[in-house]
Amino acid sequence: MPDYAILQRGDRRLHQPARALNWPIPNPAQETVNAPAPAPERQLQSLIDDLIALTLQHQGVGIAAPQVGLDQRLMIVASRPNGRYPDAPLMEPTAMVNPRLLDRSDREVGGWEGCLSVPEQRGWVRRADQIQVEYWDRWGDRQQTRLSGFIARIFQHELDHLDGILFPERLAAGEKLLLEVEFLQCLSRTD
């Protein structure tokens, strides 16, 4: 895996909207049995694997390509219980290329969010509880699905990264960031 550095809050690149990817890549050779994938497709597959590994290595539940300095509308949603998110539901890591939010419920719920680009801090953010989304998967197939709860929160958080928004910008007026260590101590007291 290449040595990707996760960009930190204050880096201007995190505030730039990302470019859409040309995906899926048309490949007339795919009709030929055992035809090799085109180089851009192999590069994207490798990047997806790297981002999934990076997310798991840092105990995240998602990551967006702009967080490693790449101007691409690509994100990973990879919820699983870990030291930073002990109550996260378990799901298979999912790559989402050119994701879009199609619809959202009127009902918003608050929840604590953290971010690999805003290290060691948490903030209380209100987000739609249920959303309808569309994206291209890593194999070039268009997907539409409804997400809810924590998975919907991850999707919206990562989509914000693709639009150049960090979660502290979503805090309600008067809300402050909490140190992650304090947040985790509060969690352990409520268990």
Closest alpha carbon to 169 in 125, 107, 129: 125
Q: Which two tokens stand for residue 47?
A: 């990047």
CA distance 31 to 183: 53
The single residue of 41, 108, 158, 175 carrying the catalytic annotation is 158
| Structure-token match 């040309």, residue found | 22
The 3-state secondary structure of 54-110 reads HHHHCCCCEEEHHHHCCCCCEEEECCCCCCCCCCCCCCCCEEEEEEEEEEECCCEEE
CB 79 within 8 A of CB 150: yes
Q: Is 158 a catalytic residue?
A: yes
- By CB atoms closer than 10 A (0-12, 13-18, 19+), residue 103 is exposed
- In which element (H, E) is residue 118 found? strand 118-128
Residues marked as catalytic: 158
